Chain A
């Protein structure tokens, strides 16, 4: 499931451009700086087979991301997080879910991915089954600085080339 969070909460109504999101349970809509718009545009573009092939050959996976994290580097994150893992993992700026999927799978955590572009979150949501994380991965359309979770909710967090 994707959750959409907007200032004031769902009961006050979301932006007119996103009425369907509330119905599908997506939480979101935030004040965003310009670079986020560029990410939004990039994630809205369909990634073709050749681009995926390149990503596979260079990074070792084909999640369709806007980053530079290889499988070996995602494994490094697992090694670093290992003592704190096993519970709830947050990925800030998750995009299509890399490297969050990889870390959650390896450390057997549940995953919450947060990002702003909804196209990215939809793709991430679509990949949950293939990543064998059905029932263990959720996505939130929200600014990483204002997540709709109580303090102390997550056991560990990852990020990769996220706009700050």
Chain B
């Protein structure tokens, strides 16, 4: 990326200071794309980006997962027919696990913006 170019994105991550067992639980409850073990702004700084700003959007994340789970239950019959029993159940379990992880404070979602140094 060009010097001075902006990098911006959303990251699902764990909070700082978790014990090893809490990190493991976060990994079990979280989505596949989970950044664990370090805050995203630290990772970004370590690879040469400047002016890193992190904005917590966990409550919007929770609302989105809740809404997706709610919609999946509302259209349960159609979705089961479309996806098959196994995939439908797996999707519901994933959503419930993420909501639990958010509720327990193990999963955060942030908007991270930074400038290439």
**Chain A residues at the B interface, C-beta cutoff of 8 Å:** 35, 38-39, 45, 48-51, 53-54, 57-59, 66-70, 73, 76-77, 80-81, 83-84, 90, 92-93, 151-164
Contact = CB atoms under 8 A, between A and B. Distances in A.
Contacts of A163: 32-33
A143 to B, nearest CB: 14
A36 to B, nearest CB: 8
Contacts of A164: 11, 33, 35, 43
A73 B110 CA distance: 11
Interface string B106-117: 000101010000
Interface majority SS on B: helix, strand, loop or mixed?
A: mixed
Interface of B: 1-12, 31-33, 35, 43, 57, 60-61, 64-65, 67-68, 71-72, 75, 78-79, 82-83, 87, 109, 111, 113
Contacts of A45: 87
Contacts of A152: 1-3
B8 A158 contact: yes
Contacts of A156: 1, 5-8
Given A156-B7, A163-B32, A73 B57 contact: yes
A158 B9 contact: yes
B78 A50 contact: yes
Contact of B64 (A58, A76, A162): A58
A99 to B, nearest CB: 9
A49 B83 CA distance: 10
Given A49-B82, A77-B9, A80-B113, A59 B64 contact: yes
A142 to B, nearest CB: 15
A58 B9 CA distance: 20
Given A73-B60, A156-B7, A48 B2 contact: no
Given A70-B64, A157-B6, 4 more contacts: A58-B67, A68-B65, A76-B111, A161-B10
A92 B5 CA distance: 15
Interface centre among A35, A54, A68, A73 (most CB of B within 10 A): A68
A68 B10 contact: yes
A113 B7 CA distance: 14
Nearest to A159: B9
Contacts of B68: 54, 58
